[in-house]
Structure 1
Amino acid sequence: MLGKIVAAEGEMNASRALKEASIVICESPAALQLRYLQTLNTIATENNSTIVFPIPIDLLQGIIKK
């Protein structure tokens, strides 16, 4: 029972952190670009065969609006 409580509290804290991160990203579009670059850096330093297809955000915005 205690384990479930601890897990639920962890999920709640993670949810709050994600909400705060989304607010920061909404207020600063450059923050999203920086996060993207951090992710690419992390992928590049791992020893794996991950393939990344960068897609311009402008292209995605056109698709999303449809």
Structure 2
Amino acid sequence: MSAAPIGFGIVGGGWRAEFFVRPARALRERLALAGVVTRLAERAAQVEAEWSVPAFHTVGEL
């Protein structure tokens, strides 16, 4: 019996965030990336386009 994936979110859309996105992509059966929090609208659009995850402006929205 396999366990459900662990859900998590990333706060910040900078270059370090990719270090968390990559394992989530590689281990989809184990990790479920709920989204990324970023303050800037243009960065949010980039995150959604490049990483195929939803972007939010506050932790509360995430």
TM over 0.5: no
The TM-score range, normalised by the shorter chain, is 0.3 to 0.5
So what's the TM-score if we normalise by structure 2?
Answer: 0.33
Higher strand share: 2
Query: Which structure exhibits the higher relative contact order, with contacts defined as CA atoms closer than 8 Å and separated by 6 or more residues?
Result: 2
Q: Which has the higher helix share?
A: 1
Structure number with larger C-alpha Rg: 1
